Chain A
Amino acid sequence: MTFALVILILFLPLLASAGILMFARNHPAASAKLSIGAVVISFLASVALFRSGLSAENLPAELAVRWLNVGDLDIAFGFRLDLLTLLMLVVVTGVASAIHLYSWGYLRGDRSIPRYFACLSFFMFSMLGIIMSNNFAQMFVFWELVGLSSYLLIGFWFERPSAADAAKKAFLTNRVGDFGFLMGILLLWSQLGSVHFGQIQTKLAENPQALGTLTTVVALLVFCGAVGKSAQFPLHVWLPDAMEGPTPVSALIHAATMVAAGVFMLCRVFFLLALPAQWPAWMGGLSWSALDVIAWVGGITALLAALMATQQNDIKRILAYSTLSQLGYMVMAVGLGGPSPAMYHLATHAFFKALLFLGAGSVIVALHHEQDIWNMGALAGRMKVTFWTFLLATLALCGVPPFSGFFSKDEILALAFTQNKPLFFLGLFVAFLTTFYMFRLVMVAFLGPAKKPSASHARESEPVMILPLIALGLPTVLAGFWGIDAVFGRGFHGSTEHAGTWWQQMIFPFHHAPVPALASLGAFAIGLASAWRLYRQAKTDPLSTALGAGSRLLQHRFYLDELYERGIALTQDALAGIADFTDRWIIAGLLVRGIHGTVELTGRILRLFQTGNVQTYAFWVLMGVSALLWWVLR
């Protein structure tokens, strides 16, 4: 029964994708129904699996069939079912169901709808594969498949050069991270002889020294994969550009699910990351553990992204930087030794960030693909549902009780408070920035005066787009009371703590760690007040003139893209120079011309002997015979 459910969840989207490509390439409605149907059934099956899994005592369960068996290498195609998997399944398929439905409204009239839904279903297949994999090799395969589907969907409108470039950028940047990931997997395999999560965990539990001096290196290489996929500094540059894709894609892939895969993977292999620091001897006894590095990378990403978000003007880009920043939070939580808060935040973030993107998409459609917030304004009255759901999601993102984001963010801050004070203050500052840029967006786009006539003629979107907004609004508000953290707590620490009543859930943060909870509320209040003061009636951004060069720095994302571009160009030039030198002087010069010249010279010399005169030849024969005689008789 369980096995059937698992197969159903994983392969239904693949079947839908294949079905669309083979039979419904010219039928937009049929392809949409196929794709939406597949994901909804997957969702229902996930819920069923989740309910049966919660009651089962024998988690984690494994289902596997033989797949790859070469020499010592034995890889099964298998599924690992534990609480982490089950909950992630529900979150991903749930958010995806809403977004699939929304896509149907958002893309109405586009001539490539079947291609869109085929890619989307294919993405679902790949993403679910990552979640359920029970070994590194299989996960890596699906890892690459989500990369591919992300590429296909970012470049959905490939006629636009910017979209095609963004797709390429995303793919290539991810390759950099994936290279490290693959190295890590290979190192693990060479050291432990297994790529199976459970086996690795057992081996490392029996002998934490099993990886020797490579421990931290392996952990950081595996983290490289997350840096690429979850867009952490310094590989974060692809995510804002990925907003070139259709908005539902941004919501599903580049906010809720795929970019969270990195965090999910880190939580999955947390036992590996948490090993005590051990560096190779030549690194000179560094004391940093893998977790320290991860925490700081996450913190820096959160801070940089939040800073950049304050001076962006494209509604989707603001949300993209916000996503980066929240992913930074999650990675930081993992680094601080808290996979459970990280996953909690991942789950709530999936709901409210998807909702934010869908709301932004609704605005974009209403304004006929206008994305600059300074061309919007006064939309609150015209697009009531969009506005209210957007506001709810914003409050959740900013961490206002009783919305879901408050609880998950508070857990992270409370963790930072006990583990690492500098990161706690950094997190607090990011929380302030989050509130500031999100309310800047809300005030300018929804509340302030209409800046363009088009904004004052906007109409609410159609029901097929409004329905998913409401559907996602529900968990955005309520996910804090569902005891998700208790589920993860059981999954990671084996604690038997059960979720209390909703009121106990509500006051838990203040009861448990009052300082971070109150501090984050304070950060919210300051952020809200400053955004209100600056942007309530603004028609242009007062901050960009006030900050001058600083604002330009933020708008241009600290010139990191330019820096990378320059760096890549220089590297390419240097490599090309070396290749040119090798080709021109070593291959063409020394090898080709050298061999040719030697042969030619020898030929010229030998030609002198060829006179055509028989007597000369006879003379040479005489000389030869004489030499031979002299040599023999000597």
Chain B
Amino acid sequence: MMPVGLAHYLVVSAVLFTLGLIGVLARRNLLLVYMSLELMLNAANLALAAFSRFNDQLDGQIMVFFIITVAAAEVAVGLALIVALCRQRRITRLDELTYLKL
């Protein structure tokens, strides 16, 4: 059986990132886009942890902890915003949200 190396982790990370990116660009549902965004974030986390593990340095993993913590806070804020949007403007689809254009 082939040993699992750095490349494998990175490929998985890249696949996850691409899936997340496609989700962000292509999905219309606000919640799904948000989830895809988290997916991209965690793909990056995975790459960081893998690098940390294979380079025998703990910096990357510490970084990952930080990211997870911040991401948890960010999710709280993000979900709150989405809920507020749904309530105030009755919006659940991202393409209805064009207020950035004058």
Chain A residues within CB distance 8 Å of chain B:
610-615, 617-619, 622
How many Å from the CB of B19 to the closest CB on chain A? Answer: 14
Please, how many angstroms separate the alpha-carbon atoms of A612 and B21 in the complex?
Answer: 19
Q: Is the CB of B24 within 8 A of A618?
A: yes
Please, how many angstroms separate the alpha-carbon atoms of A412 and B48 in the complex?
Answer: 113
How many Å from the CB of A399 to the closest CB on chain B? Answer: 94
User: Chain B residue with minimal CB distance to A612?
Assistant: B101
Which residues of B (49-102) have their CB < 8 Å from a CB of A?
A: 94-95, 97-101
How many Å from the CB of A415 to the closest CB on chain B? Answer: 90
- Known: A610-B101, A612-B101, A615-B95; 7 extra A-B contacts, CB below 8 A, are A611-B101, A614-B97, A615-B24, A615-B26, A615-B94, A619-B25, A622-B21
Task: List 5 A-B residue pairs with CB atoms under 8 Å apart, sorted by A's residue number.
Answer: A612-B100, A613-B97, A615-B24, A615-B25, A622-B25
Please, how many angstroms separate the alpha-carbon atoms of A613 and B101 in the complex?
Answer: 8
List, in ascending order, chain B residues with CB within 8 A of A617's CB: 100
Chain B residues within CB distance 8 Å of chain A:
21, 24-26, 33, 94-95, 97-101
Tell me what chain A mostly uses at the interface: helix, strand, loop, or mixed.
helix
Q: Is the CB of A613 within 8 A of B95?
A: yes
List, in ascending order, chain A residues with CB within 8 A of B100's CB: 610, 612, 614, 617
How many Å from the CB of A69 to the closest CB on chain B? Answer: 66
Please, how many angstroms separate the alpha-carbon atoms of A461 and B1 in the complex?
Answer: 143
Tell me what chain B mostly uses at the interface: helix, strand, loop, or mixed.
helix
List, in ascending order, chain A residues with CB within 8 A of B101's CB: 610-612
Q: Is the CB of B99 within 8 A of A612?
A: yes
How many Å from the CB of A580 to the closest CB on chain B? Answer: 41
Contact of A612 among B25, B26, B98 (CB under 8 A): B98
Please, how many angstroms separate the alpha-carbon atoms of A622 and B94 in the complex?
Answer: 18
How many Å from the CB of A610 to the closest CB on chain B? Answer: 6
User: Chain A residue with minimal CB distance to B30?
Assistant: A614
How many Å from the CB of B21 to the closest CB on chain A? Answer: 7
Please, how many angstroms separate the alpha-carbon atoms of A610 and B94 in the complex?
Answer: 16
How many Å from the CB of A609 to the closest CB on chain B? Answer: 11
User: Chain B residue with minimal CB distance to A610?
Assistant: B101
Please, how many angstroms separate the alpha-carbon atoms of A613 and B24 in the complex?
Answer: 12
Please, how many angstroms separate the alpha-carbon atoms of A611 and B94 in the complex?
Answer: 13
How many Å from the CB of B44 to the closest CB on chain A? Answer: 13
List, in ascending order, chain A residues with CB within 8 A of B99's CB: 612
How many Å from the CB of A212 to the closest CB on chain B? Answer: 72
Q: Is the CB of A613 within 8 A of B94?
A: yes
Please, how many angstroms separate the alpha-carbon atoms of A621 and B7 in the complex?
Answer: 27
Please, how many angstroms separate the alpha-carbon atoms of A527 and B86 in the complex?
Answer: 117
User: Chain B residue with minimal CB distance to A619?
Assistant: B25
How many Å from the CB of A605 to the closest CB on chain B? Answer: 16
Please, how many angstroms separate the alpha-carbon atoms of A613 and B21 in the complex?
Answer: 16
How many Å from the CB of A436 to the closest CB on chain B? Answer: 90
Please, how many angstroms separate the alpha-carbon atoms of A619 and B22 in the complex?
Answer: 10
Please, how many angstroms separate the alpha-carbon atoms of A131 and B95 in the complex?
Answer: 93
A-B CB proximity, top 5 nearest: A612-B101, A612-B98, A612-B100, A615-B25, A619-B25
How many Å from the CB of A633 to the closest CB on chain B? Answer: 15
How many Å from the CB of B62 to the closest CB on chain A? Answer: 26
User: Chain A residue with minimal CB distance to B21?
Assistant: A622
Q: Is the CB of B25 within 8 A of A611?
A: no
List, in ascending order, chain B residues with CB within 8 A of A613's CB: 94-95, 97-98
Please, how many angstroms separate the alpha-carbon atoms of A622 and B17 in the complex?
Answer: 12
How many Å from the CB of B94 to the closest CB on chain A? Answer: 6
Please, how many angstroms separate the alpha-carbon atoms of A617 and B94 in the complex?
Answer: 12
List, in ascending order, chain B residues with CB within 8 A of A622's CB: 21, 25
How many Å from the CB of B17 to the closest CB on chain A? Answer: 11
List, in ascending order, chain A residues with CB within 8 A of B98's CB: 611-613
List, in ascending order, chain B residues with CB within 8 A of A610's CB: 100-101
List, in ascending order, chain A residues with CB within 8 A of B25's CB: 615, 618-619, 622
Please, how many angstroms separate the alpha-carbon atoms of A613 and B30 in the complex?
Answer: 12
Please, how many angstroms separate the alpha-carbon atoms of A612 and B26 in the complex?
Answer: 16
Please, how many angstroms separate the alpha-carbon atoms of A453 and B13 in the complex?
Answer: 125
Please, how many angstroms separate the alpha-carbon atoms of A610 and B33 in the complex?
Answer: 21
User: Chain A residue with minimal CB distance to B99?
Assistant: A612
How many Å from the CB of B47 to the closest CB on chain A? Answer: 15
Please, how many angstroms separate the alpha-carbon atoms of A612 and B94 in the complex?
Answer: 11
Please, how many angstroms separate the alpha-carbon atoms of A613 and B27 in the complex?
Answer: 13
List, in ascending order, chain A residues with CB within 8 A of B95's CB: 613, 615
How many Å from the CB of A618 to the closest CB on chain B? Answer: 6
List, in ascending order, chain A residues with CB within 8 A of B21's CB: 622
Please, how many angstroms separate the alpha-carbon atoms of A610 and B97 in the complex?
Answer: 13
Please, how many angstroms separate the alpha-carbon atoms of A615 and B22 in the complex?
Answer: 10
User: Chain A residue with minimal CB distance to B100?
Assistant: A612
How many Å from the CB of B68 to the closest CB on chain A? Answer: 23
Please, how many angstroms separate the alpha-carbon atoms of A612 and B98 in the complex?
Answer: 4
How many Å from the CB of A607 to the closest CB on chain B? Answer: 10
How many Å from the CB of B93 to the closest CB on chain A? Answer: 11
Please, how many angstroms separate the alpha-carbon atoms of A134 and B98 in the complex?
Answer: 85
Please, how many angstroms separate the alpha-carbon atoms of A614 and B33 in the complex?
Answer: 11
How many Å from the CB of B96 to the closest CB on chain A? Answer: 9
User: Chain A residue with minimal CB distance to B97?
Assistant: A614
Please, how many angstroms separate the alpha-carbon atoms of A617 and B97 in the complex?
Answer: 12
List, in ascending order, chain B residues with CB within 8 A of A611's CB: 98, 101
Interface core residue of A610, A612, A617 (most chain B CB under 10 Å): A612
Please, how many angstroms separate the alpha-carbon atoms of A619 and B24 in the complex?
Answer: 9
List, in ascending order, chain B residues with CB within 8 A of A619's CB: 25
How many Å from the CB of B91 to the closest CB on chain A? Answer: 12
Please, how many angstroms separate the alpha-carbon atoms of A611 and B99 in the complex?
Answer: 10
How many Å from the CB of B31 to the closest CB on chain A? Answer: 14
Please, how many angstroms separate the alpha-carbon atoms of A613 and B26 in the complex?
Answer: 12
User: Chain B residue with minimal CB distance to A611?
Assistant: B101
How many Å from the CB of A352 to the closest CB on chain B? Answer: 89
Please, how many angstroms separate the alpha-carbon atoms of A611 and B98 in the complex?
Answer: 7
How many Å from the CB of A409 to the closest CB on chain B? Answer: 91
How many Å from the CB of A408 to the closest CB on chain B? Answer: 90
User: Chain B residue with minimal CB distance to A617?
Assistant: B100
List, in ascending order, chain A residues with CB within 8 A of B97's CB: 613-614
List, in ascending order, chain B residues with CB within 8 A of A614's CB: 94, 97, 100
Please, how many angstroms separate the alpha-carbon atoms of A617 and B24 in the complex?
Answer: 11
How many Å from the CB of A304 to the closest CB on chain B? Answer: 77
